[in-house]
Amino acid sequence: CFGICNEKGISIRTTNVRQLPSLVDGLTTADRQKIQEIESLASQALNGLTFEERQEQQDILHGVEAKIAEEETLIDSALRDLNCKLSSIKSGSMYEVAECMDPGYVNARVFQVMFLRGNRYDAEAAANQMLRFFEVKNQLFGTEKLVKDITLDDLDEGDIACLKTGRIQLAGKDRSGRQIILNLAGLRKDNMTLQNELRMRYYISMCSVESEETQIMGTVSILYTVGDMQDRFGGSGYLENTRVATSIPSHKAAFHICTDDIRQHLSHHCIIKLAPEKMRTRWRLHYGSRTECLYHMSTYGIPQGFLPVDSSSNQISIRRHLKWLESRFKIERSDRPLSSAIAVLTKEQITPTENDVLVIGGNRSKNLGNQRLRAVVKGMSQAYETGSKESRKDLVDFVISSVHDSGGWFLKQHNVDDDRGRVWRELPNDQIRKIVTQAFRNSYRRK
């Protein structure tokens, strides 16, 4: 549902439009009917559940659900049930094609357990999802890639360009340790094809479930359409994106929609219609400004820092996402030549902001990030000087984390072999540690 349950988990309400008179003015009769329909569907979603089922869905929403004890006997039993169900439904499916191509890939224990975890060890649901997974994978990437993990090298330049927009990105974790998947509708570009977007969604979603922790804890999806992040395309491609999302073996723990537009509030009624009854209780619609939406989501354990905002411009930033893409390139890189699509990632120009630490040789940069670094180091220099080797390492880690947590990078200019001359690049971790360690030594010597 889109509303907020009361503390007893018995009734449910959506945003009360009567409390927003300035927004209600001008609504058509059809708009008002949609509001009533949303409220009706939301109430039906809870009324159709038992008290125990209601409580279970609320626990999942808030990240306090009981963890499944993954005992070997439970896993082995679920795997037997899964393969039994697959045998009865796989005939003529792309799953069967994939199994014939490489049974080792399809029947791998870690691969099948991923689907069981995503469906809370419901073997029938996991089997049905596996069939959908291979159908979707075949449509997006072709039969020849059915039995291989999709990497950046399998994406074309249009897909990579779509990835770089930050339209969909991993945005850290909530307080329960669940992966946040952020959808920024306003970053959708005119030249993005639906196929590009679907392949991007598949790739990022599968990256998210590489972690065993995410497989167990689940994901939280956030659609953010506040201010200039509003969807200019009227939700086109929603059904296709939903089909891809539901084929991914992840436990969808919660769905949050943020908007400051009453019309978009109304347009989301179709989402409730399409969601299964139990899933409706895990939808939340947050209406208001950026600050209001962030506050409301914080009550569900979502840290306000999940939204990548540049503090100097107060605008949505994709720097964190581009850094993640660069890390993916490093993880996936091998001895084989780079495809032209992946090569695009290595040419990204970085424009420094006030939060960055700029490494410029022997000169002392006056950038705010450098000033903050010097202030933090100065305040901890005595502890560094008198501390043990291990405690010094912890202090260095703390300083580096404080820069990253503020949205900053450690940047240095490099020469490149093209017409751009010198460009800013992030330093590798070993060099960053050397710089911070030297900053501690210099600070103590100045006393």
pLDDT tens-digit profile of 84-127? 999 999 999 999 999 999 999 999 999 999 999 999 999 999 99
Report the pLDDT value the prediction gives residue 99, as an integer from 0 to 100: 96
CA pair distance 315, 322, nearest whole angstrom: 16
Residue 53 has pLDDT above 70, yes or no: no
- For 387-397, the pLDDT digits (tens) are 898 889 889 98
Given the DSSP bridges, would you call strands 4-5 and 12-13 parallel, antiparallel or unpaired? Answer: antiparallel
Query: What is the SS3 assignment for 15-53?
Result: CCHHHCHHHHCCCCHHHHHHHHHHHHHHHHHHHCCCHHH
Any alpha helices (H) in 90-156, and if so which ranges? 94-101, 103-106, 109-118, 123-141
Report the pLDDT value the prediction gives residue 274, as an integer from 0 to 100: 60
Residue 331 has pLDDT above 90, yes or no: no
Report the pLDDT value the prediction gives residue 77, as an integer from 0 to 100: 94
Report the pLDDT value the prediction gives residue 272, as an integer from 0 to 100: 62
Burial of residue 180 (number of CB atoms within 10 Å: 0-12, 13-18, 19+): buried
Torsion of CA 318, 321, 327, 331, to 10 degrees: -140
CA pair distance 266, 274, nearest whole angstrom: 15
Residue 14 has pLDDT above 50, yes or no: no
This prediction's pTM = 0.70
Please name which of 55, 134, 58 lies closest in space to residue 99, comparing C-alpha atoms: 134
- For 170-210, the pLDDT digits (tens) are 988 888 888 999 999 889 888 889 999 999 999 999 999 99
What are the angstrom distances between the C-alpha of 101 and each of 84, 144, 145, 324?
A: 20, 9, 10, 33
- Residue 437 or residue 356, greater confidence: 437
